[in-house]
Amino acid sequence: MGLLSGNGRSEIPPVPADRIVLKKFHSARYLHALKTASKGRWNIEALNMGIGTLDCPVFNGLYDYSVLACGATLTAAELILSGSADVAFNPSGGYHHAGPERAAGFCYINDVALACLVLAEQGKRVLYLDVDVHHGDGVAYAFYDRSDVMTISFHENPGTLFPGTGFEDEIGTGQGKGYCVNVPLPVGTYDEAYMKAFNAIALPLIGAYNPDVIVFELGADALAGDPLAHLYLTNNVYAEIIKHLISLDKPILATGGGGYNIDNTVRAWALAWSILAGADTEHDMNLGVGGVMLESTDWQGGLRDRTLAVSSQQHDIVMPVVEATIEMVKANVFAFHGL
């Protein structure tokens, strides 16, 4: 689509993450086990750290792959820190479930936690926003007691989805109290309900926090039709959120994340990048253009999804739950920010 070059855009080859940087978040014992497993030597100690499970299998080149994917996110962070880029996107990033000594949920090396750490070390106030359908647990807990990295995660209710954490009352501890924000959403949450929660919670908090830089984990598994999750979004939600972020006029480090309906994920990330890169932002044809009446069933909306119809029954089930969640989150965290 010509979106990778021109108009100040460029593709930057990633550099594998340095072991010294990796150790800012992961333990030496864990990194050693990951590297060893990658070479075919795997033991019960590695398994106890989540390496070699069904979710996090061992494969040839696992270590090189993990540190290269992470290195791309860190390369993006460096571009932003040096002022070389206002916006950087690593679709092969967003491994938000990995813990200091734990592989989990398809994640081995937590590139997003490391990027937030590196940015915070340079004195930046970091906002971490996570719209993957799963709770961004690895990042939330990395900064649970810190106020220099605010984490906001929108996700499907942990009662119905991995990893089982991310309820409204998980708000951080000590210095970090009020700087960890979780917005669990019910099965069937659709665009209007999602944006209601985003506008009511994320916008005022981001405004009050006034970050220097935004790290944006853009999992595409909250889209309708994802085989692993149960939300009902279209990619128009991501487009709208990105426009809000751009309007803040802060550097944005975006990453991919989950996304298991491949076609939908590809289009969502292509759309996200096109908007992040300042292309075609007014192309809002997400209504019912096309169809046999117009002598063509071709979809004219480009990368955008068609608007999905929502039944009154779905509305009546979802909206009251989302509204109650909004009130609970506001009651739990807004006072810490003078809201």
Nearer to Zn ion, 251 or 256 (CB): 256
Per DSSP, helices labelled H in the chain are 19-22, 28-38, 44-48, 62-81, 111-121, 137-142, 191-197, 203-209, 236-247, 262-276, 312-333
Q: Are the C-beta atoms of residues 106 and 56 closer than 8 Å to each other?
A: yes
In whole angstroms, the minimum distance from the beta carbon of 111 to Zn ion comes to: 14
Of 16-24, 46-54, 220-228, 322-330, which segment contacts Zn ion by CB under 5 A?
220-228
Known active-site residue 97: yes
Stretch that binds Zn ion, among 34-42, 66-74, 163-171, 211-219 (CB under 5 A): 211-219
In the bound state with Zn ion, the residue whose beta carbon lies nearer, of 132 and 168, is 132
Under DSSP, the state recorded for 198 is I
Smallest gap, in angstroms, from Cβ of residue 220 to Zn ion? 9
Within positions 96 to 125, which residues make up the interface with Zn ion, using CB under 5 A? Answer: none
Between 124 and 134, name the residue whose CB sits nearer to Zn ion: 134
Q: Are 52 and 46 in contact (CB under 8 A)?
A: yes
Report the b/e string of 169-191 with b at 16+ CB within 10 A.
ebbbeeebebbbbbbbbbbbbbb
Amino acid at 9: R
Closest approach of Zn ion to the CB of residue 282, in Å: 30
Interatomic CA distance for residues 201 and 180, integer angstroms: 12
> Cβ of residue 222: shortest distance to Zn ion, in angstroms?
8
Catalytic annotation, pick one of 97, 134, 135, 155: 97
Residues 241-260 that bind Zn ion (CB under 5 A): 258
Q: Convert residues 123-152 into a mask of x (bound to Zn ion by CB under 5 A) and - (unbound).
A: ---------x-x------------------
Residue closer to Zn ion, measured from CB, 143 or 162: 162
CB 261 within 8 Å of CB 223: yes
Shortest distance (Å) from residue 133 CB to Zn ion: 5
Q: Which is nearer to Zn ion, 125 or 230 (CB)?
A: 230
For 191, the token pair is 């665009």
Residue among 70 and 85 whose Cβ is closer to Zn ion:
70
Binding residue for Zn ion (CB under 5 A) from 219, 251, 256, 301? 219
Among 137, 221, 226, 305, binds Zn ion (CB under 5 A): 221
- Residue 339 is encoded by which pair of tokens? 């809201």
Name which of 145, 84, 142 is nearest 118 in CA terms: 142
Cα–Cα distance for residue pair 39/132, rounded to 1 Å: 31
Residue count of the chain: 339
Classified as helix, coil or strand, 292 is: helix
Kindly state the number of chain residues that form the binding site for Zn ion, as judged by CB under 5 A: 5
Mask for 164-203, x = binds Zn ion (CB under 5 A): ----------------------------------------
Site membership for Zn ion, residue 93 (CB under 5 A)? no
Cα distance between residue 157 and residue 305, in whole Å: 24
Q: How many angstroms separate the CA atoms of 41 and 21, rounded?
A: 24
Q: How far is the CB of 138 from Zn ion (least distance, A)?
A: 12
Cite the active site residues. 97
Residues at the interface with Zn ion (CB under 5 A) = 132, 134, 219, 221, 258
